[in-house]
Amino acid sequence: MSLGDFKLRGFLTLKPDAPGESTEAALSYRRLWTYSVVLTALVSLGPLIFMTVINFFQYQRALTAEMENPTTLLLSNNKRSLEFFIAERLSALRLVVRTRTSEQLCDQDNLQRVFRNVNDSFSGFVDLGLITQDGIQCAYVGPYELRGRSYQQADWFHEVTTRGEYVSDVFMGYRDVPHFVIAVRHEDASGKPIVLRATVGADLLAQYAISLDLKPTSDAFIVNARGILQTPSRSHGEFLKKAAIAVPPYRSESQVVDQVDADGRHYMLGYAYIDRSPFVLMVVKRPEDLLSKWLALRGDLLGFLVSSVVLILIVILWSSTAMVNRLKEADKKRAQILHNIEYTSKMASIGRLAAGVAHEINNPLAIINEKAGLLTDLVDLSEEFPRRKEVLEIVRSIEKSVERCSTITHRLLGFAKRMDLRTESIRLEDLLKEVLGFLGKEANYRNITVEFHVQDNVPALDSDRGQLQQVFLNIINNAFAAVSDGGRVDLFVERAGDNEVAVKIQDNGHGISKENLKHIFEPFFTTKKEYGTGLGLSITYGIVEKLGGRIEVDSELGTGTTFTVTLPVPSTKF
């Protein structure tokens, strides 16, 4: 369905094409409607949609940044705290080995005092042991019997002797308790290397993940470089098993990146590598946590856009339809007026032609009348004129016909020329009979009965004869047109209150519908489609108003019509 055929029930409906309207005209109105809707919609909706899209992405970026920045800040703070936690314990071990000789630390009682002092200052130590350069643990303080244990083949021992310090992954060990090891190497006064090794509970690491204060659908945990979970995770794997999320590449600063899981869902991953350790702190936030505010704002934006578009489209469609319909009606009225003006001009030309013909006919009629009179004189001069009686009767018949033709032409000329108001005393009964003289032949031919009903003592009135003739000729002519052959027209002349007389012209014709009754005095309104101009009653109404009277009509379909013309009479006439 094209835009031109669009119809919205209620008030957005293009009026149907008129029966006589050309296809080209109908298409031009549809094109105008389409152009109006499309161009107005582009001008009004384009900036709205453009600004909504810009706001959409701006708000999205702003909210994403607003969510990323706190996560980055939180990661950075916990990274520093965890680094400080590890550095603090490494420093404590270094302080011990630097302030004690290897002999002192190998003394079990002395090491017991050192462990107690260190644990009082720095919580979290589970045990403490001193390992000599050959890998033998010469002293040990803790819950297990590890004194004399050899670590010469252990990887961590080789690493700490090489690097000077060591922080292990979290592991269970034979203790069956999650923990990790920190160790530092130091050379005593004799140049012999010693290693001070301590065990720290893994629950302290979990506290740094828990402190991130996450929502239920988010997760925070610590993994090592191989992706093994060093702390429990809510939804990304089992403790001390490989995590479901791959470890991102190393970055010195905290990072927040957008990732896609196996189900194709986006999530935000924040991570931070902990210096001087194998640990990586990771935070996973799901879109429902990250974008709850954004989803609400997006819904508001889309709702505003949709409601605005719908409202604007309704206004555009309504206004465009109303504009095109009004333009269409104006074009139709303009075409009708031009047609009526052309027809009226044609009728006026015919009227002028008829008046000219009537004037020209008067000259031959005068000659015929003169010759008829001369013939009468010739016949009268001789008593012996053959067939004198028959000739005189023929001459009188000619003179009567000339007189009749002259009367008709004089009436036509008088009817056509007398437009300026010229007052004279008029008896309405005589005036109506003069008017019927124009229609007498039609009444006889169609067997129409015309009856006069004149009230006694109806006074004469002072008015314009020619214009009253035009008024009653129009009304009586309409009455003749309304009745069928053998119909009836009654003319009533009577008083109508103080200083007024009324003429009622009543017929038993087909009547006038109520819809047409309120339009009959409008210019160019006619029900005589073939030959009517729609000007007769309009002109009649204007003449009656100009003469100071009024005209009323009462009609019923199938019963007949009554026109009442009320005219003023000077008070001296009564």
Weakest mean pLDDT among 21-25, 86-90, 323-327, 400-404: 21-25
What value does the mean pLDDT take over residues 495-500? 83
Weakest mean pLDDT among 181-185, 192-196, 290-294, 298-302: 290-294
Instruction: Output the pLDDT for position 8.
Output: 41
* Span 134-155, pLDDT tens digits: 999 999 999 888 899 999 999 8
Q: DSSP letters along 78-140, please? A: HHHHHHHHHHHHHHHHHHHHHHS-HHHHHSHHHHHHHHHHHHHHSTTEEEEEEE-TTSBEEEE
Instruction: Output the pLDDT for position 7.
Output: 41
What value does the mean pLDDT take over residues 346-356? 67
Instruction: Output the pLDDT for position 149.
Output: 92
Instruction: With cut-offs at 50, 70 and 90, classify the pLDDT of residue 535.
Output: low
Instruction: Output the pLDDT for position 527.
Output: 65
Residue range 100-201 in CATH 3.30.450.20: yes
Instruction: Output the pLDDT for position 294.
Output: 62
Domain range summary for the chain, segments of one domain joined by +: 100-201, 422-573
> Measuring CA to CA, which residue among 59, 117, 111 is closest to residue 92?
117
Provide the CATH topology of domain 422-573.
Heat Shock Protein 90 (3.30.565)
* Span 459-480, pLDDT tens digits: 888 888 878 888 888 898 888 8
335 three-state secondary structure: helix
Max distance between CA atoms of the chain, in angstroms, equals: 196
Weakest mean pLDDT among 291-300, 382-391, 504-513: 291-300
Percent of the chain with pLDDT over 70: 84
- The 10 Å Cβ neighbour count of residue 232 is 17
pLDDT higher than 70, residue 349: no
- The 10 Å Cβ neighbour count of residue 520 is 21
Instruction: Output the pLDDT for position 417.
Output: 55
**242 phi/psi in degrees, rounded to 5:** -65, 135
Average model confidence (pLDDT) for the chain?
Answer: 82
Instruction: Output the pLDDT for position 400.
Output: 77
- d(CA 385, CA 252) in angstroms, rounded, equals 154
pLDDT higher than 90, residue 505: yes
Instruction: Output the pLDDT for position 11.
Output: 42
By the 10 Å C-beta count (0-12 exposed, 13-18 middle, 19+ buried), 318 is classed as middle
Instruction: With cut-offs at 50, 70 and 90, classify the pLDDT of residue 17.
Output: low
Helix (H) and strand (E) counts in the chain: 12, 16
pLDDT higher than 70, residue 573: no
> Measuring CA to CA, which residue among 255, 265, 256 is closest to residue 286?
265
Measured at the CA of 358, the angle between CA 356 and CA 362, to 5 degrees, comes to: 115
**β-strands 266-273, 423-426: how paired?**
unpaired
Q: Phi-psi category of 135—alpha, beta or left, where left has phi over 0 and alpha has psi -120 to 50?
A: left
